[in-house]
Amino acid sequence: MSDQGPIAYDAHDAYNAERPLLIACGCGGNHAPHQHAEQQSKQIVSTDEISRNFLEAALVKALFPHEPTRRAFLSAVGRSTAMAAIASLVPLASMQAMAQESSGNLERKELKVGFIAITCAAPLIMAEPLGFYREQGLNVHLVKTAGWGMIREKVIKKEHDASHFLSPMPLAMSLGLGNEPFPTSVATIQNNNGQAITLHLKHKDKRDPKQWKGFTLAVPFVYSMHNFLLRYYLAEFGIDPDADVKIVAVPPPEMVAKLSDGSIDGFLGPDPFNQRAVFDGVGFIHILSKDIWDGHPCCAFGASDEFIKQNPNTFAALFRAIISASLIASLSTDRYEIAKTIAPQAYLNQPLEVISQILSGKYPDGLGNTRSVPDRAIFNPVPWQSMAVWMLTQMKRWGYIKGDVNYAQIAEKVFMLTDAKQHMAHAGWNPPKGNYRKHIIMGKSFDAQKPQEYVNSFAISHQA
């Protein structure tokens, strides 16, 4: 919007708790028709200020899409506090710069991005209806894909330009585990937590994993956090995951059906299928994955190194769009609105009630209890390289990787932490410092600086 001189005061007021946000007059202003004369008589401001006000109003609308929630928040904290809080997280200048970036230098504008219909994909999905792809000059076709093996195949065959991944998949693909080496990178983590161990209702009296010997348990893919977390959990109870139980790979959409027909006894899988098993009266939630590792990564967004190298501006635009959606998913206080965005048939194709229970953290567990876990699913995009090192230690522990492993080199090559921080800052986040963090898994500290010592510390291990 160019500055053509002073015009009448514009009333896009994001912080007025007394009226609905974005009610327009016939003149195009953001005020009710009966307020037109009053607004015309107010002070004169430039169109640049109107643009800033409109952008901030749009941001607040995105953060608080439910009017009663926005008004309650503003009434509770006050105008100045709300302005300061939101400005500290999302500097307006960054948002304006991002909105004004030219899309003329994009190598490609038409893109196919694969995804699996699970709640972990929320930021990638939300970027479409929220318009973040379009704002970056991209026409993104989100392609619903049946399973993770197909996701890998379509990326390798270049049928998908970028993709929703399980966060260990790009590590495995780059190392040539399950395929010829195919260098692939993780741009962002899509979600943290958001998984669970779900068992068939017939096992409701078998809450001690030591009673699970002989069980058949499903995970969505070999190179998944689900597999690694399940193995870790079982081993902590003295159960050898390769000798005492059978772990099978089952595409997420098939998990509830296989639980129902008795093909499997349970699964550590992604939502919405844990909650869907409860909804369908088939299973119960034994524990949430956050009870194993609170804040663990699960899914990621990324692309092949070849695509990134050949299309750097396009990939950066895609990166920005998804980071922006992650911001909204992280900060929004109205998880019901997010659920409404991702539940429809084109995306998750699940009952709104199920998705809302997952994202709000208020859910029935299938055992007659209603739980309240607000951080059951969170959306922090930081691809910590220490997380990648942990995944590599589990690949080594269970014999997926043979021989010596240069943990730091692989993690720093595949997990694009520096790029993620740059795009986070651009989108308005305050990116964290450092590359590595200490993580606590079932009460035990993991130091990414000493990965092989960590692998050697386990009583149950099949490293080669």
Exposed, middle or buried by CB within 10 Å (0-12, 13-18, 19+), for 202?
exposed
Max avg pLDDT among 103-112, 161-170, 324-333 = 161-170
For 107-127, give one letter per residue: b (16+ CB within 10 A) or e.
Answer: ebeebebbbbbbbbbbbbbbb
Lowest model confidence (mean pLDDT) among 285-289, 329-333, 354-358, 442-446: 329-333
Exposed, middle or buried by CB within 10 Å (0-12, 13-18, 19+), for 275?
buried
The Cα 353–Cα 357 span in angstroms is 6
Give one word for 238, left, alpha or beta, with left for phi > 0 and alpha for psi -120 to 50.
left
- Output phi, psi for 140, to 5 deg: -95, 125
Q: How confident is the model at residue 53 (pLDDT cuts 50, 70, 90)?
A: low
By residue count, the chain amounts to 464
Task: Collect all residues with Cβ–Cβ distance below 8 Å to 254 and sequence separation of at least 6.
Answer: none
The Cα 330–Cα 107 span in angstroms is 30
pLDDT > 80? residue 291: yes
pLDDT tens sequence across 422-457 = 877 776 667 778 778 889 999 999 999 999 999 999
pLDDT tens sequence across 17-47 = 555 544 344 344 444 434 444 444 443 334 3
Max avg pLDDT among 3-12, 207-216, 329-338, 429-438 = 207-216
Residue 65's pLDDT is 55
Segment 70-91 mean pLDDT: 58
Q: Which of 298, 299, 311, 321 is nearest to 161 (CA)?
A: 311
For 128-148, give one letter per residue: b (16+ CB within 10 A) or e.
Answer: bebebbebbbbebebbbbebb
Q: Measured in Å, how far apart are the chain's first and last C-alpha atoms?
A: 62
* Beta strand pairing call for 110-115 and 139-144: parallel
Segment 345-353 mean pLDDT: 95
Instruction: Please state, rounded to an integer, the average pLDDT across all residues of the chain.
Output: 84
Task: Collect all residues with Cβ–Cβ distance below 8 Å to 433 and sequence separation of at least 6.
Answer: none
pLDDT > 60? residue 93: no
Positions of E strands within 11-158: 44-45, 110-115, 139-144
Identify the DSSP state of 212: G
Q: Are the C-beta atoms of residues 48 and 40 closer than 8 Å to each other?
A: no
Identify the DSSP state of 10: P
pLDDT > 90? residue 139: yes
The Cα 386–Cα 449 span in angstroms is 8
Q: Which residue has the tokens 């990324």?
A: 302
Q: Which residue has the tokens 């640049």?
A: 48
Segment 76-92 mean pLDDT: 57
Q: Are the C-beta atoms of residues 111 and 140 closer than 8 Å to each other?
A: yes
Residue 64's pLDDT is 58
3-state secondary structure (DSSP) of residue 186: strand
The token duo for 437 is 């963090």
The token duo for 310 is 């050949």
pTM greater than 0.85 (yes/no): no
The Cα 7–Cα 175 span in angstroms is 60
Residue 431's pLDDT is 77
Segment 104-108 mean pLDDT: 85
Q: How confident is the model at residue 68 (pLDDT cuts 50, 70, 90)?
A: low
pLDDT > 70? residue 193: yes
Q: Are the C-beta atoms of residues 219 and 195 closer than 8 Å to each other?
A: no
Q: How confident is the model at residue 83 (pLDDT cuts 50, 70, 90)?
A: low
- Output phi, psi for 197, to 5 deg: -95, 120
Q: Are the C-beta atoms of residues 89 and 98 closer than 8 Å to each other?
A: no
